[in-house]
Structure 1
């Protein structure tokens, strides 16, 4: 063989700036060691990619202590020139370092003018073997390029001309079609006019028929009303005859006997007093609350209330007030002290107060207040739905889902706070006492509380609500409460495992073929007393039900332990084999978890959430569930009032 053939690399003229510099940077180390800047700089100066100042900086800078640093700095300066800098550097290598040029580009060095980029206008410093009339070749190359462009333009012109001819033919066809459409449109308008006239005639006929039908219906309705009135008149006549008969025999009419049962429901004597209640709270002072009732505590001497005879110790049952467009009617028998003061503060004119004398109860309330057994007549429980940090004036720190016992809705020296006690989760014992913002004040700041909850790492979903306090009542379930596992698909997997424990039993009255037969199962279980039987036997009933059964269970005085096992893609994979065995997939479990998780906040009671990363397999999950059931069984069940 005459010699090794060098494989031809890509054409440098067709390569972009980034490709050229990527090629140079891949061989940067080789170029830094093999190229002397003083040899290639004259060519780079002629190519106008380096200035005289750049040359001095490269060759004379004290910071560049060796040739490799000078060569590297020279390539950095050429990088700022973009593609021209890369092309000039490679052309200088082809002239002065042909071997290195071949190693970098994979192409043979050549002295043909077509291999140069045209950056030079002078070639005085080129070696003898590369000298040629460069300018002439450049002009020839430009002429050839112009001829190539002319041929391309001619071909483009012929293509456009053919396209224009085809467009003209299409325009002609469209004009013909447009004429046809005009003819058809005219015919359609004429047809539409005929149809409209026909429709108008039909509407007139239908209108006449509707009027006749409406008259018939009105006639039937009047006949029915007449029949009802006649029946009522006959009943009234019969009752009138009975009354006359009873009057003749000195007996009591039967409807009066029936009405006496209502009078028996009135406890005590109620007196309604009308007087000028201008600024009513300046005339009377009240004490009490929703537990004891609201009583008149002091009456200002010489006031309108004192003049009409309102005395100390009377319970305010109702207040009515109307002036101009402002009206108020409020029953205060079960109102808190805060609500009563608000209602009485609205009275600024003539009013009616319904009072019931209860001096003994009033004296008992005063004695309890003096002995500090209670701070007011208020007593109710609420569940906190926001986290309240500690504040000034002894504000109590409470967290979401804490239970508070409100004992005074209007403490001394404050108008926007409640005095409360935090309740022990397992017993009705007060843990800590202090002030918290009342419902109105915390409602004004509820947006800030919600935003502060969002900043926490993992706030409970029930904390993100616009209702700061929820009234609840305590319930003390029997020894063993039923267990409800969620999501429903996971519950179907774990129900039998949990029921196999000692002290647990699956409440399954019959074989069920679907997850949607909860109503039948619930009604059958309540009907045969299955829950009550298991309570008496000290057995936890495992319920294969859904969330829709919770409120009905509560109405039956059954309070299940609700456990929701949170799901993620990772936790769902741990149960893959169990899901496939029941013809379910991981996507079914995740979808069921997402759909039921949105319904948890609508529950009338609290639930326990198990984090998806708190267990690693089915065994650890069952162990975790046993611990949760034991903890929840010890707690008091706080239930919201049933408003359904």
Structure 2
């Protein structure tokens, strides 16, 4: 059969049996693959079927499924002979090209000459065939896009599941952390109990030692008394022996006898004398009594000595026992101390893991938001394609109406059919998602034929399935306020430490805040009239005066900061606190008390000039009012202290050195306050009065006073591009007034589509830079309060100028708000910075030329396996990635830094949203914007042809990427449109711009979008 059907002309040359044999050999695939309602209109026009045959095929109750209907259709066409076979194959060519190729072995190419003899209206068939072919091709493309989007949605759902699993593991870790904290607390209480027991034992031991010493002292005294008694007894014995000897000598002398005789006589005389010696009864009783007393006293002494010895032995035994207990207690204390150290290490490790998990979660949320944005863009493109399909359908309707007019004149009866095929009304509404192709109101629009009806139903079903399968949103519009609030509430409860305050943002020598979430993307939004806002957004109306902010309106609080110096808390009745004290200072120096009203409550609490206010706490009277003033601006501090009107607690410390230095600077007019921070201006502000500073959009200003000459204006200096100091100074509106100017400017631009304002250089001036931030996230240019979980009913007031009703505004917690000023930090990279071109198509052209020069080299994406990709993602070293088989191609931090270390500019081919990731890595790329218009596109026509890119594609890419430049968290360089005439001139301008940007100070925003 392949030999027979080399060309389509041979089909008409075949006989009837051969043609039907070809179709009968594939009958089982034909009846399963085609839809009869799509083929019958063409077959009816080819006059191989009539209306009765079509009605029988499509609506006969005998045929219960599509297979039976297609089989009956083939049987009817077989009765029509060769014409039926050729007409059926031609209909397959338009509606089922795959089946046509399967049956004939030919590619479906439309050749109108082959079937000119079958149809009378050849021109109509030619137009219809072309329209159906284009619609078929667009429908196949749409199906491919739908499959790609469905696959992308499944991937995002898998990533969402992984993120939820990580969140669950984080919750488990938090629970373990709490349990370990409770165990540590219990062990700590046990250690305290052991300390108390040791103290009691030591007291008992000291008392026992004291008693032992008393017993030893008493024993020594008793021994001394015994020794004295022995000496006295010895003396008595000696004296009695002397007396006896003296009497014997006297007897010897008196008798004149010899020595022996005299001694004998003396003893005899003495015996006689003793015998003759008699005592009275009284004397005997006295002597016996003395003897008994002496014996008793001696026995008592002996007994007392024995008892003291026994007590000494018992005391020694008790001392040994207490010493052993002390050793055991010390050993147990050491063990408990080691266990506490181990628990501390575990808690520290757990906290570090929690911080890593928080960073991973932030990256996942950032990737999720970027994916949602990409899905919204894809849905917008699909809606545009559907709109084109709808317009082509209208054209088909009109063509059919034109063809039906002559037929209606010649034929009688088809009026009802022609009436059913009236063209679509031209005054239809604009295409709206989900109900654009087939509106619900049948009276407004009806499909002209069964073919268009089927197409409409298919598109409507596709749209409905996309609504069900889409992730979080089925519309290209931004998420609703309720959806945003839910996300913010989840973020807050899962990551309470990410809400940092104003103090960290004013350290200009540091890089971007580490607490900033990685890759926070800007969300699109619409500017609507306040009259169109729902009741839940009524909080956007400005409040009536300062009394409103102090009459129960809750204000955001941030987590309390640790104050490491010596701080004293004073509680007193602070009625009208700013009438009792006056303050000076700012975020750079701190807030100091400058004057105290004599006799006031503050004076009675010994508040004096030079006292620095660290924190104000009015939670006793206003539960949501607790603010840290350590790093707030003077304007914020005045507003916060002005709200105090009742019992309050002030945390203060004495800082006379800082106060004296501030007063000296104020008296010497070196400074006007203690404020100092840098901002990027997001709108153009004209100087309407003397002393005001005319500001252009994207100017960098150094704000030195937020209370300059009263309220409502700041004093600032314009900073040059090559330094952080500025010469030109003046006043600018404060944050609230600038925000009102920004909203008014946007409304004015919305009303007037074209605004022709020129700079002095002749180029158009950029009037506004749209930057939106989440109100639930902290902003350094707004109030810095102690954080509380966001409530949907709570409102947050802009506290920069509460005394002026027209300049204060409140927002709902879940809203996004426009930012007139953005806080920035300066950086001076020493190594060559990477280069990023906008648009990327022009960047590819310039990268090919620049990489041939010295000092420039492309930074290519490298292939990473799954394990390497996981490790790099864990470290946060991936700048941009795209999927590949078995792994991913990624632009990594290592590749960029290796080129920077070689003193080479890395030429990056990444999207603009990758700039935030580079800033988190302390890499600050040079962004060169090349304005592309039709004239510039013609200059690059030859180079674009080598890249297989048209001028229209370059212009479209330029328009899309220029809209993303406002979201870049840093300044960028832009070339003048008329500064180059060809590719070589553009290359020279780019080199000069890169060298100039390398010399400039890099200003980065604190929280990149």
CA distance in 1, matches of 2:1002, 2:719: 12
What is aligned with 1:493?
A: 845
CA distance in 2, matches of 1:562, 1:603: 9
CA distance in 1, matches of 2:923, 2:904: 14
Cα distance change on mapping 1:572 and 1:300 into 2, 3 Å: same
Match for residue 558 of structure 1 among 923, 930, 943: 923
Give how far 1:339 is off: 0.5
Q: TM-score, normalised by structure 1?
A: 0.57
What is aligned with 1:623?
A: 988
Match for residue 293 of structure 1 among 575, 584, 590: 590
Q: Is the 8 A contact 2:939 2:982 kept in 1?
A: yes
Cα distance change on mapping 1:474 and 1:523 into 2, 3 Å: farther
Is 1:459 aligned to residue 770 of structure 2? no
What is aligned with 1:437?
A: 733
Q: Is the 8 A contact 1:322 1:350 kept in 2?
A: no
Cα distance change on mapping 1:501 and 1:322 into 2, 3 Å: same
Q: Is the 8 A contact 1:379 1:406 kept in 2?
A: yes
Give how far 1:560 is off: 1.0
Cα distance change on mapping 1:411 and 1:240 into 2, 3 Å: closer
Give how far 1:588 is off: 2.8
What is aligned with 2:711?
A: 415
Report matched runs for 1:80-229 at 5 Å. none
What is aligned with 2:965?
A: 600
Give how far 1:371 is off: 2.5
Q: Is the 8 A contact 1:322 1:328 kept in 2?
A: yes
Cα distance change on mapping 1:321 and 1:545 into 2, 3 Å: same
Match for residue 304 of structure 1 among 592, 601, 613: 601
Report matched runs for 1:541-580 at 5 Å. 541-580=906-945
Give how far 1:390 is off: 2.1
What is aligned with 1:328?
A: 625
What is aligned with 1:424?
A: 720
CA distance in 1, matches of 2:743, 2:965: 22
Deviations 1:485-532 (A, max 9, x none): 1212221222120122232222225599xx9846999965413xx433
Deviations 1:223-261 (A, max 9, x none): xxxxx9999999978974785367433647655994999
What is aligned with 1:582?
A: 947
What is aligned with 1:83?
A: none
What is aligned with 1:402?
A: 699
Is 1:368 aligned to residue 735 of structure 2? no
Q: Is the 8 A contact 1:509 1:521 kept in 2?
A: no
SS in 1 for 2:701: strand
Which 10-residue stretch deviates more, 562-571 or 630-639?
562-571
Give how far 1:611 is off: 4.8
What is aligned with 2:546?
A: none
Give how far 1:282 is off: 0.3
Is 1:267 aligned to residue 564 of structure 2? yes
Q: Is the 8 A contact 1:289 1:376 kept in 2?
A: yes
Is 1:316 aligned to residue 616 of structure 2? no
Report matched runs for 1:20-59 at 5 Å. none
What is aligned with 1:475?
A: 827
Larger radius of gyration: 2
Cα distance change on mapping 1:614 and 1:464 into 2, 3 Å: farther
SS in 2 for 1:311: coil
CA distance in 2, matches of 1:351, 1:241: 37
Deviations 1:314-360 (A, max 9, x none): 21111122576684221111100010001101111111111122222
Cα distance change on mapping 1:462 and 1:541 into 2, 3 Å: farther
SS in 1 for 2:952: helix
CA distance in 1, matches of 2:889, 2:676: 36
CA distance in 1, matches of 2:175, 2:1006: 43
Cα distance change on mapping 1:642 and 1:565 into 2, 3 Å: same
CA distance in 2, matches of 1:285, 1:365: 15
What is aligned with 1:526?
A: 893
Cα distance change on mapping 1:238 and 1:567 into 2, 3 Å: closer
CA distance in 2, matches of 1:358, 1:332: 14
What is aligned with 1:358?
A: 655
Match for residue 484 of structure 1 among 836, 839, 847: 836
CA distance in 2, matches of 1:264, 1:394: 38
What is aligned with 1:176?
A: none
Match for residue 244 of structure 1 among 179, 190, 196: 190
Q: Is the 8 A contact 2:583 2:592 kept in 1?
A: yes
Cα distance change on mapping 1:632 and 1:461 into 2, 3 Å: farther
Q: Is the 8 A contact 1:563 1:610 kept in 2?
A: yes
SS in 2 for 1:274: strand
What is aligned with 1:340?
A: 637
Aligned residues: 413
SS in 1 for 2:727: strand
Give how far 1:392 is off: 2.3
CA distance in 2, matches of 1:230, 1:395: 58
Deviations 1:570-627 (A, max 9, x none): 4333333333323333333233222222211111011123355543321222122122
Q: Is the 8 A contact 1:473 1:641 kept in 2?
A: yes
CA distance in 2, matches of 1:333, 1:230: 34
Cα distance change on mapping 1:302 and 1:258 into 2, 3 Å: farther
SS in 1 for 2:850: helix
Q: Is the 8 A contact 1:386 1:450 kept in 2?
A: no
Cα distance change on mapping 1:315 and 1:618 into 2, 3 Å: same
Q: Is the 8 A contact 2:684 2:767 kept in 1?
A: no
SS in 2 for 1:598: helix
Give how far 1:442 is off: 2.1
What is aligned with 1:217?
A: none
Deviations 1:276-303 (A, max 9, x none): 1111100011111000111111111111
Q: TM-score, normalised by structure 2?
A: 0.38
Q: Is the 8 A contact 1:474 1:636 kept in 2?
A: yes
Cα distance change on mapping 1:521 and 1:612 into 2, 3 Å: farther
CA distance in 2, matches of 1:504, 1:237: 59
Cα distance change on mapping 1:245 and 1:361 into 2, 3 Å: closer
What is aligned with 1:382?
A: 679
SS in 1 for 2:627: strand
What is aligned with 1:196?
A: none
SS in 2 for 1:445: helix
Cα distance change on mapping 1:339 and 1:521 into 2, 3 Å: farther
Any unmatched runs of 5+ in structure 1?
Answer: 1-179, 181-227
Q: Is the 8 A contact 1:522 1:549 kept in 2?
A: no
Give how far 1:463 is off: 3.7
CA distance in 2, matches of 1:285, 1:475: 37
